[in-house]
Structure 1
Amino acid sequence: MVKCLTTLMAILVLASCSSPTKYTPRSSALPVVSSTSNAKAEKLYSDPSLSVSHVDNSPCGAVYRVKSGDSLSEIAYHCQVSMKQLAAFNKISPPYVIYKNQRLQMPEQTMQTKQKKQVTVVQKETGIAPQKEIKKEIKKPQKQPVKHQPWQWPAHESLPYRFIRDEAGLSVIDIYGIAGQDVYAVASGSVVYAGEGIVDFGKMLVIKHDDEYMSVYAHNSALLVKEGDRVQAGQNIAVLGATGSASQPKLYLEARFKGRKIDIKKVLTPPSQ
Structure 2
Amino acid sequence: MMHRVAAFLLVLLMVTSGCSSTSRLAPVTDRMPAGKKTAGKMAASDWRPKTHTVQKGDTLYALALEYGFDYKELAEWNGIGAPYVIRIGQQLRLASAQSDTVSVTPLKPLAPVAESMAASEGSALNPSAQNQSGSLLKTQPKAGKVDYSAEAESLPPAIVPKPDAVVPKTHPPGEEKPSVVEEKKSAPSAGADDEDMEWAWPAKGKVIATFNEASNLKGMDIAGKIGQPVFASAAGKVVYSGSGLRGYGKLVIIKHNKTYLSAYAHNSQILVKEGQSVAKGQRIAEMGDSDTDRVKLHFEIRRLGKPVDPVKHLPESSG
TM-score of the superposition, structure 2-length normalised?
0.42
Q: Which structure has the larger Rg?
A: 2
Greater percentage in helix: 2
**Higher relative contact order (CA closer than 8 Å, sequence separation 6+):** 1
